[in-house]
C-alpha cells in the first residue's frame, strides 16, 4: 500500500489550532506523507504566532501526486484573499482527490460551488451565506461538527478533533476502532482497550 500524499496549505494568520490534532498523527504514520506549502514557499506566521517554513510552493506541486489537500481556516478566506490556490483546487477536485476544509476555508469552497451538491457543514449556515454570496448549497447544509461527502470533508472551526477524525477515516490511517479510541481520548479524556 502506498502512502497518501497530503498537502497542507499555509498562509499568514492560518488557524494553527485547527490542524493541531491532525498533523502530528499524519506525520507519525507511514500511511501519509505530509507536505506544507504556501503560494510562494516563503515562511509564514500562523495565527498562534508560530513561524513556519513550508516544504514547497504551490508551483512545485504535481496535482497528480496529491491524495488530499487540507485547507485550515483563517481570516484570509473571509477577506477573499487566498490568491493562487484556485487552479490547484480545481485540479484536485477534477482528479477526484480529497479536499478537507475547516472553518473559514469552507467559505472558499462554498463560493466556488464545491459544496452546492454535497452534504457539508461550516461554522453556521448564515456564516456561509455571508462570506460566500455565490453559495447555493443551503439545502445540503448539516449542522454538525464535521461532515464527509464524496471527496470533500468540511468542519466547523470549533471541531479540530472531529476534523482530524474524518481525515483519518478517509485515508484509513488506522483501524476504525483505533480511530474511535483516538477520538475518545482527545475528545473526552477516556482511553479504552
Q: What is the DSSP string of 175-191?
A: -HHHHHHHHHHHHHS--
CA pair distance 41, 60, nearest whole angstrom: 9
Just list the catalytic residues. 103
Burial class from Cβ neighbours inside 10 Å (0-12, 13-18, 19+) for residue 16 reads buried
> How far is C-alpha 154 from the geometric centre of its chain's CA atoms?
7
Tell me how far CA of residue 124 lies from CA of 64, 71, 160, in angstroms: 33, 18, 15
> How far is C-alpha 82 from the geometric centre of its chain's CA atoms?
14
| Nearest alpha carbon to residue 183 among 101, 27, 156, 174 | 174
| Nearest alpha carbon to residue 72 among 82, 63, 64, 62 | 82
Amino acid at each position: 500500500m502506498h502512502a497518501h500524499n497530503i498537502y497542507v496549505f499555509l498562509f499568514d494568520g492560518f488557524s494553527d489550532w485547527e490542524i493541531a490534532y491532525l498533523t502530528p498523527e499524519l506525520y507519525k504514520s507511514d500511511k501519509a506523507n505530509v507536505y506544507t506549502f504556501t503560494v510562494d514557499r516563503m515562511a509564514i506566521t500562523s495565527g498562534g504566532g508560530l513561524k513556519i517554513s513550508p516544504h514547497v510552493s504551490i508551483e512545485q506541486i504535481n496535482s497528480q501526486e496529491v491524495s488530499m489537500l487540507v485547507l485550515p481556516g483563517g481570516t484570509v478566506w473571509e477577506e477573499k484573499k487566498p490568491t493562487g490556490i484556485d487552479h490547484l483546487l480545481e485540479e484536485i477536485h477534477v482528479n477526484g482527490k480529497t479536499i478537507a476544509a475547516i472553518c473559514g476555508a469552507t467559505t472558499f469552497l462554498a463560493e466556488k460551488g464545491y459544496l452546492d451538491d454535497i452534504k457539508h457543514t461550516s461554522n453556521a449556515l448564515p456564516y456561509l451565506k455571508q462570506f460566500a454570496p455565490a453559495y447555493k448549497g443551503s439545502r445540503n447544509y448539516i449542522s454538525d461538527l464535521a461532515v464527509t461527502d464524496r471527496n470533500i470533508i468540511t468542519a466547523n472551526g470549533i471541531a479540530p478533533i472531529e476534523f482530524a477524525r474524518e481525515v483519518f477515516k478517509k485515508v484509513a490511517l488506522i483501524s476504525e476502532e483505533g480511530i474511535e479510541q483516538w477520538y475518545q481520548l482527545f475528545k473526552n479524556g477516556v482511553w479504552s482497550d
